[in-house]
């Protein structure tokens, strides 16, 4: 099957991937754009995985003040080179992350950073609720673990649904940026300020 430049450009518009990557994905998916998008996402995730162990010693501190000046965010995002740190796509990623933090009020970047006493407190509440259900202990344990996972999904930045596209998690946004920019990117830390809190 012959792939047209118009098909490639359509796919590039949807994904931001390079011309040859789009052409290859379209050839492998027999011209099906939706399948090609999925292929590109898988290729990007695989490429991003290879970069994860690399040192990210550059980056930027990004500041965002929400309209109305009642919420502000300071965010550190690291990459491997100052060249990428100055790149428009990297800066857009930082902006999107800061906007998301302002709107979604995460409490930590990663689940390992959530205060263990808070997790145990939540677990105890969920256990009490599960015990009231009267279901067998094995079912109760699964209920508790499910609710703990949901807690992390609500309050851990990288596990939250991305505010601009709830079908993606914030981690997917970062992974996509790693694939596009070709460098390891790490969301290091953030502070969210809100008037009166």
Model confidence at 182, pLDDT cuts 50, 70, 90, reads confident
pLDDT digits (tens, 9 = 90+) for 154-175: 999 999 999 999 999 999 999 9
What is the predicted pLDDT for the residue at 48? 47
pLDDT digits (tens, 9 = 90+) for 91-117: 999 999 999 999 999 999 999 999 999
- Identify the CA nearest to 61 among candidates 189, 185, 178, 182: 189
Cβ–Cβ under 8 Å, residues 148 and 155: no
Cβ–Cβ under 8 Å, residues 33 and 10: yes
Cβ–Cβ under 8 Å, residues 152 and 111: yes
Q: Is the pLDDT of residue 1 over 80?
A: no
Alpha helices, H only, 52-155: 82-85, 88-104, 116-132, 137-155
pTM of the model: 0.69
Domains of the chain: 5-51 (1.10.8.10), 58-109+156-194 (3.30.479.20), 115-154 (1.10.286)
Q: Mean of the pLDDT values across residues 50-77?
A: 83
Q: Is the pLDDT of residue 56 over 80?
A: no
Task: Choose between 136 and 57: higher pLDDT.
Answer: 136
Integer Cα distance of 26 and 175 in angstroms: 22
- 3-state class percentages of the chain: helix first, strand second, coil last, to nearest 5: 60, 20, 25
């Amino acid at each position: 099957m012959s792939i047209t430049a118009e098909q490639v450009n359509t796919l590039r518009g949807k994904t931001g991937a390079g011309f040859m990557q789009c052409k290859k994905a379209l050839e492998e998916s027999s011209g099906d754009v939706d399948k090609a998008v999925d292929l590109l996402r898988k290729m990007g995730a695989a490429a991003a995985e290879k970069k994860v162990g690399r040192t990210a010693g550059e980056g930027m501190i990004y500041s965002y003040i929400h309209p109305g000046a009642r919420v502000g965010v300071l965010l550190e995002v690291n990459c491997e080179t100052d060249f990428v740190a100055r790149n428009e796509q990297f800066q857009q990623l930082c902006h999107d992350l800061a906007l998301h933090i302002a709107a979604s009020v995460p409490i930590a970047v990663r689940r390992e950073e959530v205060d263990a006493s808070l997790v145990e407190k939540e677990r105890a509440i969920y256990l009490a609720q599960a015990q009231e259900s009267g279901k067998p202990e094995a079912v109760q344990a699964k209920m508790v673990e499910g609710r703990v996972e949901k807690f992390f999904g609500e309050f851990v930045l990288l596990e939250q649904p991305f505010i601009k596209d709830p079908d993606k998690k914030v981690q997917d946004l970062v992974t996509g940026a790693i694939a596009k920019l070709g460098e390891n990117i790490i969301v290091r830390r953030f502070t969210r300020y809100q008037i009166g809190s």
